[in-house]
Amino acid sequence: MKPIRTLAFVVNADKPGAVELAAELVRIARARGVRIRRTSHFPLPRGYLRGCDACCVIGGDGTLLSAVREAARERVPIIGVNRGSLGFLTTFSEEEARLGFDGLLNGGFRIDRRAMLECSVAGGAPSLALNDVLIKNALQTSLVHLEVFADGELVTDYVCDGLIFSTATGSTAYNLSAGGPIVHPQADVIALTPICPHTLTNRSIIFRDSVKLRVLNRTAGARVLVCLDGMGELRASADEAIDISISRQRLALAQQRSYSHFAVMRTKLKWSGGAAERR
């Protein structure tokens, strides 16, 4: 990658050590003549990353998710430094960022282009999600009745607590907690996982990358909430269509050149077995 000349910092001041680490990395960058933007306010406003070569997010995966739409629109790579808990997306540890920041500024990283979901309600303007789109009752915890169509063909109707539509990246988030499958991030698919379905044989379904999904709210007298990456933004009244597909826009996620997806999975999910022990 080319050297970074303009770098934006997004810092979650509520995470222990994040502000101090940001100050240290800013000093390193300024010493190399890098132009700096810095904010502790997120989600990022439209245009904030315009003209930047990269965006360094210091916090947890939630902090990174708050920057992905702007980063995808401006085609700016995100360097995620983990000061949260699991850190599937913020792949650089504090030590790795501190010791290797000169190399990062010099372009010493690789880019993984992650698929994103595009979602619109009732034909409105589409919104982007990196992890997932969640559909559930907007006001209470009662069941919802949702019909799902794939390329115009009825899949089935669900009576459940909600539906999760996940990218491969988001498969280790809410999808995994709800019993959905783990999907390799290079698989451009959509995973549909129902939450506590009334019909026990309803299980996760994997759709191909070009599928056009439509969800109709058949819940009598109730609106459903459509959450994108955990942020509630859209609502659909009875019979309004929710359209979901894989977007043409992608998120450029910076990783170390030695990054291993399966090594991350073994560490974060605490997998173990004979092969690990033999090493």
Catalytic residue positions? 61
Q: In 86-201, which residue ranges form alpha helices assigned H by DSSP? A: 94-105, 174-177
Residue type, 67: A
Reported as half-sphere exposure (CB side, CA atoms, 13 A), residue 204 has a value of 20
- Under 8 Å CB-to-CB from 79, ≥6 apart: which residues? 54, 55, 56, 57, 92, 97, 104, 109, 254
Question: In degrees rounded to 5, what are phi and psi of residue 162?
Answer: 165, 175
As a residue count, the chain comes to: 279
For 226-265, give the DSSP string. Answer: EEETTEEEEEE-TT-EEEEEEEEEEEEEEE-TT--HHHHH
